[in-house]
């Protein structure tokens, strides 16, 4: 959660590793601007400074996710199609159980399949970077009433468009999905920063 304090010890214990790799991971996360290391205070999950920062990330992400979906609809194989179907079913179960962490886990896997199916390594790399940045906001996108059901519908429509080979519809579904998350996050940001 944004602003949450995290410690090397907690992470090391949770992962059953020494503190050294955790310390190195913290340095890398700080370079990616995902955490803030404040001397004498600790390590905190990075927040967002401005609405413009959110807009910049999601504007680019909507375009690139749209392109990935467009390409995936043209290039997806049967195994990847099956995985998209499986992930939409898992997502439905997570939503029925009000399992936000499960939704996030499945969402990451779902979008990974689309990136891989696009068969464009540079697109994958850019999306990975944007996805990491968007991780800070992910739980905020579910706070609006009814958003989880919309989230499921968006994934089902996107999977259907890709699996049926409809590139243009896949692009639109992906862009609409990212824009809906963007709108939810902006709403939460505005409420928290009044």
Taking only the tens place, the pLDDT of each residue in 97-156 is 988 889 989 999 999 999 999 999 999 999 998 888 777 676 667 767 788 899 999 999
- The pTM of this model reads 0.76
Q: How many residues does the chain have?
A: 194
Compute the average pLDDT of residues 155-176. 98
- For 175, the token pair is 């862009």
pLDDT tens for 12-49 read 888 888 989 888 888 888 887 777 788 888 888 776 66
Share of the chain above pLDDT 70, in %: 92
CA angle, residues 126, 107, 131, in degrees to nearest 5: 25
Q: What are phi and psi of 77, to 5 degrees?
A: -100, 175
- Domains annotated on the chain, with CATH: 5-45 (1.10.10.10), 51-192 (1.20.120.530)
Which among 169, 167, 175 has a CA at the least distance from the CA of 62? 175
| Residue 125 token pair | 């790399």
């Amino acid at each position: 959660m944004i602003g949450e304090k995290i410690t090397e010890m907690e992470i090391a214990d949770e992962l059953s590793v020494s503190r050294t790799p955790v310390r190195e991971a913290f340095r890398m996360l700080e370079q990616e601007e995902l955490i803030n290391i404040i001397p004498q205070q600790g390590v905190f999950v990075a927040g967002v400074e401005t609405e413009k920062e959110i807009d910049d990330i999601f504007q680019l992400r909507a375009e690139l996710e749209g392109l990935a979906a467009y390409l995936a609809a043209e290039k997806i194989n049967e195994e990847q199609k099956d995985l998209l179907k499986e992930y939409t079913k898992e997502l439905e179960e997570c939503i029925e159980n009000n399992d936000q962490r499960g939704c996030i886990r499945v969402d990451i896997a779902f979008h990974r399949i689309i990136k891989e199916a696009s068969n464009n390594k540079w697109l994958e790399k850019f999306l990975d970077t944007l996805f990491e940045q968007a991780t800070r906001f992910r739980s905020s996108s579910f706070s609006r009433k009814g958003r989880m059901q919309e989230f499921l519908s968006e994934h089902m429509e996107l999977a259907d468009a890709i699996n049926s080979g409809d590139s243009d519809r896949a692009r639109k579904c992906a862009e609409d999905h990212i824009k809906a998350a963007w709108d939810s996050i902006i709403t939460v940001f505005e409420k928290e920063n009044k």
